[in-house]
Structures are given as C-alpha cells and as structure tokens.
Amino acid sequence: MSRRKIIIDTDPGQDDAVAILLALASPELDVLGVTAVAGNVPLPLTERNARIVCELAERPDVKVFAGCDAPLERALVTAEHVHGKTGLDGPQLPDPVMPLEAQHAVDFIIETVRAEPNDAVTLCPLGPLTNIATAFQRAPDIIEKVAEIVLMGGAYFQVGNITPAAEFNIYVDPKAADIVFKSGIDIVVMGLDVTHKALTTRPRVEAFRNLGTEPGRMVAEWTDFFERFDKEKYGSAGAPLHDPCVIAYLLKPELFTGRHINVEIETQSELTMGMTVADWWGVTDRAPNAMFIGDIDADGFFALLTERIARL
Ligand code: BDR
Ligand code: CA
C-alpha cells in the first residue's frame, strides 16, 4: 500500500489530539511530522501537548516541531475557555519525555515539501494558518509542489463560534488564511457547517470509553471535558468534534459532501474579521478555490474513529 504523506499542523486542543491519534492509528497515512502553532493555547503548550499525544499513541518516533508563536499581523487570541488552561484539560496526563525537534516548524515544512516529489505532501492544518502562510511567504516555490490542503476552519451557514461572524482558526490569523486561500492549491475546507454535525453524543463517547484502552479512555475524558462548554452554548446533544474530520476525509472522503466554490477571507473589518465569505449559491463570478464541505455521515465518521482508536 502506498501511504499518503501528510504534515499535521496543529494547536492541541482536545479535538486536535483526537485527530492526531486517528492519523497515527491509520496505516494509509505517513505522518512526516507534526508542526505546532499558537492557537487554542500558547505555543509552549501546543508543542508539549502534541508530544503528549504522540506518546499516548506509543509513537515517540514522530517528529514534533514548534512553529510560530503569534499570528502574522495580530495579537494571539486563545481559547482556554473551551479547552482549559493546558489545552488538554480533562484527564491527568504524564509529562512528555520525547524531545521537541530543534528545527523550526516553518523550516521543516519548507524543507520537506521541497525534498519530496511534486504532489507528494498533503498539508493538514487544524489550527490558525500561521505556520503554513509563513512557509508560503518565505518559500513560494513550495506552493506548486503541495498536493492538497485539507483544513479545519471557517463556516458559512453556522457563521461563527469565536465572534458572531468568524470561526476560531480563521479569526486568530485572518491574514494567514487569506494567503492560504489565495495560494491556488486545492483546498478542502472542514468548517463549522460540517463539524457541527459531528456531535459527541453519549453513546459515541461511551463507545470510546468501552474500548478499555488508555487512548480510548483519554478520548472519552477529553470529550467529557470540552463538551460541557459547547453543550451549554448550543443546547446540543454533544460537542462538535472538529479536527478529526480532516483526517477522516483523507481516509474516507465518501463520508463527506460539499461544493467546489469561491471562498474569500475578510481581513479588514473589525466587525466581521476572519469571516469566510463562501459563495455557496454561486452568486458571484469569482473563481472557485475550495471544496467547501457541508455534510457528513456522522455515524460512519464515529464508527471509523472508534475502530481506528481501538487499534492503538
Ligand atoms: C477549531 O478551533 C479550535 O478550538 C478547535 O481545535 C478547532 O480546530 C474550531 O473552531
Ligand atoms: Ca485545532
């Protein structure tokens, strides 16, 4: 089997953690590296959390890099109110022992994409797009070499979660998102429209716990923790499990449907900063630049996730 080469760019975050576990549990994927960015919590915590998750998957061989500690043009906004002080609040977790790579995440991304053949590397951003945009700014030659970007970010019908108009990952670094959406690379967008359909209902969480393994228990306990916030906010049966949708799409794209449309990022207005202006109805003649996902087979998604977490 030829394994798909990916770089996971991430700001763990409990849902990022589940996405990393899903990738490491999946033989179809070759995780070339995990690059941390500031987002849900500051960089020293996101890189630390990424290493904790690799160790939980018993994969201390995975290379973890620290990247940008602040957005391109704005001050960092974090989300401890959702993810807790550490970003991975919930279960007790041991300190990571595996080392952080010395190289900067942006240099790793540039070097890796350059070294691989064209269309060999898929980028999987699960947080603000600062590392990815910085790599494109510093090394524009890599843009045409990237196979695809499958990212979690944005929203159209669900509009926003951190402001009334914007989703967190895009809001934190709208300038970076603008650079990425204008790059010309094929982009698949997992926004709130789809992730709000991937809800951690009780039976789904219990299925993780009932695996009887350490990773299964961690996924259940992380979910228990961040659920409290979203259930109260949305009055829903569970919380959206955002970031694993990106990895699930790589494994089973047939679980998802969407439209190939134009998506632009608002970078000027303070009121709607970071809004993903998605031409879902095709009312402009702006050229399509993204596959904007709108729907998911949620049962199929959780079945895949549970089956894969069981392998760890
Ligand atoms: C996104 O923001 C973060 O809080 C989550 O990890 C996810 O990537 C959802 O808006
Ligand atoms: Ca994230």
Give me the phi and psi of 195, to 5 degrees please. Answer: -70, -25
Position 232 scores a pLDDT of 82
- What is the whole-number distance in angstroms between the Cα of residue 180 and the centre of ligand 2? 17
* Beta bridge partners of residue 214, listed in sequence order: none
Active site (catalytic) residues: 242
78: Cβ contacts below 8 Å, ≥ 6 apart: 38, 39, 40, 41, 42
What's the average model confidence in pLDDT over 221-239?
Answer: 87
- pLDDT of 139 above 80: yes
**Helices (H) then strands (E): counts for the chain:** 12, 10
Distance CA 135, CA 132 (A): 5
Ligand 1 contacts (CB < 6 A) are 13, 15-16, 40, 79, 82, 126-127, 152, 161, 167-169, 242-243
What is the pTM for the complete model shown?
Answer: 0.98
- What residues are neighbours of ligand 2 (ion), with CB under 5 Å? 11, 13, 16, 126-127, 243
What's the average model confidence in pLDDT over 184-196?
Answer: 98
Position 228 scores a pLDDT of 82
At 96, is the pLDDT very low, low, confident or very high (cuts 50, 70, 90)? very high
- What is the whole-number distance in angstroms between the Cα of residue 10 and the centre of ligand 1? 10
Ligand 1 pocket test, pick from 40, 89, 293 with the greatest ligand atom count within 8 Å of Cβ, gives 40
Position 231 scores a pLDDT of 82
Position 237 scores a pLDDT of 85
Average pLDDT of the chain is: 97
* Residue whose CA is at the smallest distance from ligand 1 atom 4: 40
What's the average model confidence in pLDDT over 168-190?
Answer: 98
Q: What is the number of the ligand closest to the CA of 154?
A: 1
Position 236 scores a pLDDT of 86
What's the average model confidence in pLDDT over 124-135?
Answer: 99
